[in-house]
Amino acid sequence: MPNRTLLIAGNWKMNNDVAEAAKLADELAQALPEVPAGVEVLVCPPTIDITTVHDRIQAAPIALGAQNVYWEAKGAFTGESSCDMLKSAGCTYCIIGHSERRDYFHESDEDQNKKAKALVAGGIVPVFCCGEPLEVREAGTYVEHVVAQVKAGLEGLELASADQLVVAYEPIWAIGTGMTATADDAQEVCHAVREALVELFGAEMADGIRVLYGGSAKPGNIAELVAKPDVDGALVGGASLKAADFSEMVVKAAE
């Protein structure tokens, strides 16, 4: 197994106004003055909070990401943010393809493909999300469903190195529901994702790309998840909104 650095990424979703974001960022910086060897930490606040959080985590080993991006460089795209804008605000990562974007805002695989290419070209690492709803899981076609998302969303993406891309597998039925895929469930699909990455980028590159699990990951299950050979960390929702829980996950992931 390659020595991939674990990534514990917090997706704050649409939570925390500027004052609340400043408070949480301060608490995280205090809780994580250092990060255990072999682990990287990332937080992705709402766009309105990015500059505030950036200023608050300067002294801490915490990377900053956005939750969305638009693929055009500039122009009449009201409400959107470009790669250059995110980069100028301190972002080095950006979540794309989250199930909530796909479902509520009807974003397509083609949209994710454009975003992924724009981000890599702009020097920001996409955290590309993929995952299945409950009906697909129950039908038993979840591996095919997720692999199709990965191949369509990342087709034609050109990588110079494996650290230019992160993939996050998030079973939609386990997001915010308290239901969690077992570590074996996570490994099964994360392994299939890695095999799809081999097809897209070759074995050597795919071996170095980190594949995260997202879906009710918390302090109680993070160690078991990251013990699996193809699970390289977690995309954390609810638990990332509490500094104590999130920092505990970072520590436990490294144990």
Beta strands of 146-232 (E only): which ranges? 166-169, 210-214
The pLDDT of 140-150, averaged and rounded, is 97
User: Between 55 and 179, where is the model more confident?
Assistant: 55
| pLDDT tens track for 158-180 | 999 999 999 999 999 887 777 77
**Gap between the Cα atoms of 20 and 225, Å rounded:** 30
pLDDT of 52 > 90? The answer is: yes
Does the global pTM surpass 0.85? yes
Extract the tokens encoding 142: 């979840």
| pLDDT tens track for 217-238 | 899 999 999 999 999 999 999 9
User: Of the listed 40, 107, 132, 170, which one is catalytic?
Assistant: 170
User: Of the listed 72, 80, 98, 224, which one is catalytic?
Assistant: 98
**Cα–Cα–Cα angle for 151, 7, 238, nearest 5°?**
95
Question: Is the sign of the CA dihedral 210, 211, 214, 217 positive or negative?
Answer: negative
pLDDT of 1 > 60? The answer is: no
Query: Does the annotation count 54 as an active-site position?
Result: no
**Backbone φ/ψ region at 227: left (φ over 0), alpha (ψ -120 to 50), beta:** alpha
**Gap between the Cα atoms of 71 and 123, Å rounded:** 13
